[in-house]
Structure 1
Amino acid sequence: MVELDEYKERVRQIREYAIDHNITEAQTSEIFQACFRQLEAKYSKKSNRSRRPLRLVLFFVFISIVAVLLHLCSQKWLNDIFVRISQNSIYPVLYVLRKVAIPVISLYPSLSDLYDEWCLIENPYFYVSDMDCWPCTAVHSVPDLTGHSISRSFNIGIPYTRAENNTKVKMKDLVDTYWSNKDIFDEDARRISSNNETLRTIRDVMDNRLDVYPTNLLTTHISWRINRMKPNRILRKLFPKPAETPDWWSQSIEKYIFIDESRSPPYLLPNPECSNIVIRCAAGARLIKMIPSSECIQHCRSLTILLSAGHTLWYNWWYWRPVSLPVYNATDLFIGYLTSLC
């Protein structure tokens, strides 16, 4: 307090001296500012000098940690342990997060807008080195496992089909569902992808029904991706959870609906977020060519099956990358529903 009082007195004396010698108030303030700048520069240099040894120490510590981590990553046994632990924990962690997120999303539906991956592009060069392809090497056909229960020890590399005759859906059912919930679909599931330039939104598809107004060449393909909770709940009435789904699998939010005219050209089925995939034929028919993934193409053979209305195809995209093909002499509109399970 004494030092502050002395400081005030000295400042008062300087200002009186300035007034006696005809120095303006602005000039006096400028002199004070110049003094403060000199003091600031002087003490900031001292502070920087004192901090420099600490920065050097932190830098060397950081470099040492990075070097240790790189060395550990180069150890194959440690890398194998880390990969095994992380792979085994991915699905349980996602399952818990999904359960926790459901009540939160229910209270704040607008948060579902944050879950959208339209801006992301799938990496076409993604490749798993040294992938074990034994699950698909013994596959020579696609069996029908209707009525058979799948155990935890089941080989997920084996694709199979099931009959679900009570899940047939016509274009009229889709149209009626859309118009009954138009606002929700236009807000949360508006976008589609199509090879037909006149169809750019789901509203266009419903206004120009392909079962009523078919195109001249019958080659239109439509892929409708749904990844919001509200439209998913509505479509669940048309496309319920696949029958005999293993209890330890849960559905992902992301769903696809395919609408194809009878001559729609071949297209690769998408790889959704979960690797266990079910595609249901709700109307019409398509040929599905099961092509091994790039990692397993040298070890596993391609297969082709006819997926007709009321049947589902189950497979794992780690081992298979199916292509949808038109059926020769087909006339009906194809409607397919794809979901994935973790």
Structure 2
Amino acid sequence: MIFKLRRQPQAHKNIGNLQGNWIFCTLPGVMSAKTFDFGSRIDEILRVGEDLGLSSSEVHYVFTAVLADEGKEGELQLSQVPVCVKGAESSKVRIMGKISSALKTIMKVLTCVVIVGVVSCSVISFHNPTKKFVTRNIQDLIYPVMTTLRQFTLPVLKKYPHLSLWYSEECLVPNILFNHGNIDCSTCPENVDFIEISTLQNFTSSYYNTGKYLVVTDAVHKIVSRTVFLENVDIRQEIKTGTWKQVSKYSPLSNTLKEYIGKQLTGDIHIEWKINKLETLHLIRQVFPRPYFIPQETEVALHRYVFIDGPDSEPYPLPLPEFANTVIIQGEGESVFFMLPSRQCKGDCNPTSITLKATQVLFYNWMYWRPERIKSGYSSTFAMSSFY
């Protein structure tokens, strides 16, 4: 298709004012022209060309073709310039331009909000009269604001229930640069063989908040089968909220109780169940009682972990519970834990392995030890808790 641009003879040093979509072709033929100053309108023409999706070389060619032959009167044919943009492509270009403009506006608004927030917080924090004024006047607004925010977030939580876990998390983003300071690693046992003790009486003076570990054989008096507590658990809901995690490379996974109750676990199945709901916590406390040697005056963490493993489950590190003093209660089966020294105690504490049999309880402090469960050839169920 050939497009024609006319120039008036008296405007031989100007180009036509191609108003509107100056190279958007809705009608072939001749476009009328008006004289204007080239320098004052060049930016506008370039912007229009950019909005229509033309490259800089194409726009440059248009200028060159129009101004090349000043002595030639009549019509200038631009038969080889792809300056006609289809309607759909032109519409797409305009939409992208609007989106880009909207994003720039949003970024400007967010930048202003951040700056105002930082300045306001700085003034409130460092200017005592302002701090007192704000504190005094926002007390009555806290409850209605939080109630309104709760009402807005309920639909989101219903659609994404796993987000509710953030509420009960003690740490959302761990500080990888945190240093525990000076830890006295000399309390690690010189003999790597673990000690089995019954009727433990000197726990506070000999083991509490130290690098010593031990196995207590009389803290639990009967085997705790997974059937006891899984009968009252909605596994589908636990999976939906993200507290129940199943891992297996070769065994089929299930979200029903029939695969875990009354049957011997096989293969490499590994289940990690993090308990943070009060009703479930009450159930676990009944089947995994508090070991008698934990001091009565200390605080026990609300969070619990339950691990269920098949005989061929892959090795995995144990998580860090809320408090450093940690107990593992072997409910059924048998587990082997490889005790690795923490980063601060690698030079003073020697790694060792501990075999924990049913009804036995392992105590250690994760400031000194970072255990991993390794393959034992037995299926296993054990609970993990911590205290201050």
**How high is the TM-score relative to the length of structure 2?**
0.51
Q: Deviations over 1:1-46 (max 9, x none)?
A: xxxxxxxxxxxxxxxxxxxxxxxxxxxxxxxxxxxxxxxxxxxxxx
Distance 1:152 1:213 in 2: 39
Q: Deviations over 1:286-317 (max 9, x none)?
A: 11111110100111101111101010000111
Distance 2:170 2:246 in 1: 15
Preserved CA contact (<8 Å) 2:324 2:386? yes
Are 2:330 and 1:281 aligned?
yes
Instruction: Tell me the SS of whatever aligns to 1:281.
Output: strand
Superposed displacement of residue 148, structure 1: 1.7
- The answer for the alignment partner of 1:340 in structure 2 is 386
Taking the TM superposition and a 5 Å limit, the aligned residue runs for 1:70-81 are none
Identity, in percent, stands at 25
Instruction: Tell me the SS of whatever aligns to 2:385.
Output: strand
Deviates more, 1:234-243 or 1:166-175: 166-175
Distance 2:306 2:172 in 1: 20
Distance 1:149 1:133 in 2: 24
The equivalent position to 1:171 in structure 2, one of 226, 230, 252, is 226
- The answer for the alignment partner of 2:263 in structure 1 is 212
Superposed displacement of residue 170, structure 1: 1.5
Distance 2:170 2:385 in 1: 17
- The answer for the alignment partner of 1:160 in structure 2 is 214
**Change over 3 Å in CA distance of 1:228–1:165 after alignment to 2:** closer
**Change over 3 Å in CA distance of 1:197–1:230 after alignment to 2:** farther
Distance 2:198 2:344 in 1: 30
Letter in 2 for 1:256: Y
Q: Deviations over 1:104-153 (max 9, x none)?
A: xxxxxxxx977422982444554435433122163533212210213533
Instruction: Tell me the SS of whatever aligns to 2:188.
Output: helix
Superposed displacement of residue 158, structure 1: 0.7
Structure 1: stretches of 5+ with no match in the other structure: 1-54, 63-111
Distance 2:167 2:205 in 1: 33
Superposed displacement of residue 210, structure 1: 7.3
**Change over 3 Å in CA distance of 1:125–1:195 after alignment to 2:** farther
Distance 2:257 2:325 in 1: 30
Taking the TM superposition and a 5 Å limit, the aligned residue runs for 1:195-210 are 195-196=247-248, 204=255, 206-209=257-260
- The answer for the alignment partner of 2:275 in structure 1 is 226
Distance 2:231 2:187 in 1: 42
- The answer for the alignment partner of 2:361 in structure 1 is 312
Superposed displacement of residue 339, structure 1: 0.4
Letter in 2 for 1:170: S
**How high is the TM-score relative to the length of structure 1?**
0.57
The equivalent position to 1:236 in structure 2, one of 285, 290, 301, is 285
- Greater C-alpha radius of gyration: 2
- The answer for the alignment partner of 2:194 in structure 1 is 142
Preserved CA contact (<8 Å) 1:292 1:321? yes
Distance 1:188 1:251 in 2: 27
Superposed displacement of residue 199, structure 1: 10
- Quote the RMSD (CA, aligned, Å): 3.6
Distance 1:144 1:309 in 2: 13
Distance 1:286 1:249 in 2: 28
Superposed displacement of residue 187, structure 1: 10
Structure 2: stretches of 5+ with no match in the other structure: 1-118, 127-163
**Change over 3 Å in CA distance of 1:185–1:253 after alignment to 2:** farther
**Change over 3 Å in CA distance of 1:272–1:205 after alignment to 2:** farther
Instruction: Tell me the SS of whatever aligns to 1:298.
Output: coil
> 1 or 2 for the larger relative contact order (CA 8 Å, sep ≥6)?
1
**Change over 3 Å in CA distance of 1:205–1:258 after alignment to 2:** farther
Letter in 2 for 1:278: V
Letter in 2 for 1:281: Q
Distance 1:134 1:207 in 2: 49
Taking the TM superposition and a 5 Å limit, the aligned residue runs for 1:80-159 are 115-117=167-169, 120-124=172-176, 126-136=178-188, 138-155=190-207, 156-159=210-213
Deviates more, 1:234-243 or 1:219-228: 234-243
